[in-house]
Amino acid sequence: MNFYLAMLVAFTLTAALVTLWGWRSLEKTRQQQQWQKVEGVITAASVTSEEDDLLPDIRFEYHYQGKRYEKTLQFPAGTTPMPDFGTHYVKKYPPGRQVTVYVNPAQPTEATLEPDRGGGLLFWTGLLMLAIGVGAIFFSG
């Protein structure tokens, strides 16, 4: 196997992994968007949190099947906020504001104010890379 073909195979395998990762992200997004919607209220909002002084601390409560739950808004891993990120979220979710909460019916302690919307770009980029890699391998020799 020549070096060129080895590089194409490595590129294609990487593209396949990116596509799979994007697909899993899309599935998570679809699942979250189908979670039960309930009314909730913001109980506290701070520009910074104890865990990360760059991310805001937004707390909310909701009731699901007669039980009260409290939760902190979680941000995706790797979120790198701009300077006004915390201020934006505190204005968006001030204490006392009524909000829609997305609750996982299978695990009611799992809830969010903002269901995932990602994965699409990653999936389509991976799929394009995969097509290029397979085409390059096919026409390489």
Task: Tell how many helices (H) and how many strands (E) occur in the chain.
Answer: 3, 5
Averaged pLDDT of the chain = 88
Regarding whether 101 and 84 lie in a shared domain, the answer is yes
pLDDT higher than threshold 80 for residue 6: yes
* Of 35, 8, 36, 21, the residue nearest 126 (C-alpha): 21
For 79-83, 91-95, 118-122, which range has the lowest pLDDT when averaged over its residues?
Answer: 118-122
- Tokens coding 93: 């979710």
Q: Considering its fold, how many domains does the chain have in total? A: 2
How far is CA 93 from its chain centroid?
19
- Tokens coding 124: 């389509």
pLDDT for 105 equals 95
Regarding whether 88 and 56 lie in a shared domain, the answer is yes
pLDDT for 1 equals 62
Mean pLDDT across 81-105: 92
Regarding whether 92 and 53 lie in a shared domain, the answer is yes
Q: CA torsion 45→94→107→33, rounded to 10°?
A: -130
Residue-wise pLDDT for 54-73, tens only, equals 889 999 999 999 999 999 99
| Residue type at position 70 | E
Regarding whether 25 and 90 lie in a shared domain, the answer is no
